[in-house]
Amino acid sequence: MEEEGLICWLCGRPLGRKVEYHHPVPKSRGGRATVPVHPICHRTLHATFSNAELERQFSEPDKLRAHPDIAKFLCWIARKPPDFHAPTRRRK
């Protein structure tokens, strides 16, 4: 199902057929609100940060976008089509 007119909370690109919903404050930390994101953006967030880091430091998109790893990802993904998929590296 295509979400007409929605854009990704993280990268700002239009959403495609597959949409996931991210909790800016992780559900395990009491977060209830969700935002639409591409699956690759969602996986990148969780591969880069723990739930504790997301809660304490990165619940705002501007703070996430300023992080060097996320900024590099956003530059790379910027010209990809909405339903682009690639393997996501796990946290080290």
Residues 27-64: tens digit of each pLDDT: 888 889 999 999 999 999 999 999 999 989 998 999 99
pLDDT in tens, 61-82: 999 999 999 999 999 999 999 9
Task: Tell me how far apart the terminal alpha carbons of the chain are, to the nearest angstrom.
Answer: 34
Q: Long-range pairs for 26-30 at CB < 8 Å and ≥24 separation? A: 26/51, 26/54, 26/55, 29/54, 29/55
Q: Contact, 31 vs 24, CB < 8 A?
A: yes
Q: Which two tokens stand for residue 17?
A: 């057929």
